[in-house]
Structure 1
Amino acid sequence: MNTGNSIELIREKAAAMRRDCLEMGFAAGSHGAHFGPALSSIEIIASLYFGVMNHDPKNPCLPERDRFVMSKGHACLSYYAALVEAGYLSREEMYTFKGDNSILSGHPSCHVEHGLEVATGSLGNGFAIACGMAKAAKIKQETHKVYCVLGDGECDEGVIWEAAMNAVKNKLDNMVAIIDRNSFQLAGKTHEIMDLDLAAIWQAFGWDVQVVTDGNDVESLLSALKAILQ
């Protein structure tokens, strides 16, 4: 996949992904869908899939592909939308979201041949798995990157901090964690439930931190990702 796409093309992909999310959610009907966390992460995932990551929808099991883990699995609509726009999933498959025998369940399941790397949904576990994937790549001397999107409310989970410490200890500079700071979680606003200075905490744990003020601005996201990957 060409990672040299223009900012305008990535914005167009993000707009298409928003429509895909809405169409999937409405197609699911009374089964429901988590629109909020999906829509807040659209530009993050569009920037990764169409501006940063090395991947090939024609060869989804390519050994040197970059890996993507959607740790906040309830936001899977945006993940599925990226896979549709990238060519891993057909539009017919898209409309089966939450349907009987569909591979597109309410949280991601593992179907690598369709671009779905890891089953996630239990908050915090996806990030821990991503750290394990990065560690395995180090052991095997593989050069691909692991990208993981987390929720800000998800960072209340203790396993996040265990994995974050472990990543620093093991020098996992082949992975990137991106926190979707939308300021909401299931029961309310994140600052009212657990008021965390996430940038300061991650820095204290030894991570290289880039703060993006507007997480829906593609240019800012690409700039931050470029700075991290240098």
Structure 2
Amino acid sequence: MTQDILELKGIASQVRRDIVRMVHGCQSGHPGGSLGCTDYLVALYFSIMKHDPSFNMEGAGEDLFFLSNGHISPVFYSVLSRSGYFDKAELAEFRKINSRVQGHPTTHEGLPGIRIASGSLGQGLSVGIGAALSKKLNGDDRLVFTLHGDGELQEGQIWEAAMFAPHNRVDNLIATVDVNGQQIDGPTKVVLSLGDLRAKFEAFGWEVMEMQGNDMTLVVEGLQKAISLSGKGKPVMILMQTEMGAGVDFMMGSHKWHGVAPNDAQLQQALDQLPETLGDY
């Protein structure tokens, strides 16, 4: 294992500590999906994307990321703070009155790194397409990344966007779906089956690939492969297999930790599994 991968794994451990502490601190939030997507977001912000933590809204000359499933804000806030967008001490204000780190990201608080309000599911792919087309119009060769939940694909706007992007050759867009098979009411196959996602997106004209989302080496390799597939006339879709609650054994394998905060004993049990590598906030 290379030193870079070891460093990314260390960052991911700290981010997971942040997630469980943030949700515990306000007894509210969504730890399950946040933990499952930690490796992806750490790889993206600490290895893959070209981005500037000094932050400007336009992001000219930078790769852009849009979080569509905004309820997994704990992982997004932690990664932004740990990569230099704002002081990690602000994570202690998660979901507090007048805080900039609310349960779903918004723009009016002016939190660096947040370009759209998200949480109303289904909208992020459309936003990503708009940003990607703007980059093309501006002669900007950087990429746009979006992240979605698999339960979010039950929203109709996703499929309108899924038709639009290939038709308009939006090939500077790399969308990722967190395929953990869980949503707030239970397994996706029980609530509303998504069917064969690869076949569906390929039928719409996407370049589709799959990757394992809780192995840092495979995540980095997968994102690098996705970049190599971009710029060839098709948008790229990554179907990322993750485990909800990854990294905390008692939160894995069930939808029950989608939106439940740990109690004091559960917090300690979680932290005992996650080495502190960068210093807690």
The structure 1 residue matched to 2:119, chosen from 107, 118, 121, is 121
| Structure 2 unaligned spans of 5+ | 229-281
C-alpha distance after superposition, 1:30-72 (max 9, x if no partner): xx11111111111111111111000121x21252121111100
> 1:135-214 maps to which residues of 2 (within 5 A)?
135-195=133-193, 196-212=195-211, 214=212
Q: Name which of 47, 50, 55 aligns with 1:60.
A: 55
Letter in 1 for 2:51: H
Q: Tell me, in whole angstroms, the C-alpha distance in 1 between the residues paired with 2:77 and 2:130.
A: 23
State the one-letter code of the partner of 1:187.
D
Partner residue, 1:80: 77
- Contact 2:100 / 2:111 at 8 angstroms: preserved in 1? no
RMSD (Å) for aligned C-alpha atoms: 1.6
Where 1:27 maps in the other structure, the secondary structure is: helix
* Map of 2:259 onto structure 1: none
Offset at residue 167 of structure 1 (A): 0.9
Aligned partner of residue 95 in structure 1, secondary structure: helix
Larger helix percent: 1
Report the count of equivalent residues.
223
- Give the SS at the match of 2:222: helix
CA distance in 1, matches of 2:137, 2:201: 25
Higher alpha-carbon Rg: 2
Residue in 2 that maps onto 1:99: 96
Q: Say if 2:100 and 2:110, in contact at 8 Å, map to a contact too.
A: no
Structure 2 CA distance for aligned equivalents of residues 194 and 116 of structure 1:
31
Deviation at 1:194, TM superposition (A): 2.3
Q: Which runs of 5+ in 1 are unaligned?
A: none
Aligned-residue identity in percent:
35
**Cα pair distance change 1:112/1:145, threshold 3 Å:** farther
- After TM superposition, the structure 1 stretch with the greater mean CA deviation from structure 2, 62-71 or 45-54, is 62-71
- Cα distance in structure 1, aligned partners of 2:21 and 2:111: 23
TM-score, L = length of structure 1:
0.92
Task: Tell me the amino acid that sits aligned with residue 75 of structure 2.
Answer: S
Q: TM-score of the superposition, structure 2-length normalised?
A: 0.76
Deviation digits for residues 174-211 of structure 1 (CA, Å, limit 9, x no counterpart): 11101111110111101122222112211111111111
RCO higher in 1 or 2 (8 Å CA, sep ≥ 6)? Answer: 2
**Residue 53 of structure 1 aligns to which amino acid in structure 2?**
M
Aligned AA (1:202): F
Looking at structure 2, the residues matched to 173 and 155 of structure 1 have their Cα atoms a distance apart, in angstroms, of 21
Q: Which moved more, 1:40-49 or 1:219-228?
A: 219-228
What is the identity, as a one-letter code, of the residue corresponding to 2:94? Answer: F
**Distance in 2 between residues matched to 1:224 and 1:209, nearest whole Å:** 12
Mapped partners of 1:80, 1:170: distance in 2: 32
1:14-25 matched pairs, under 5 angstroms: 14-25=12-23
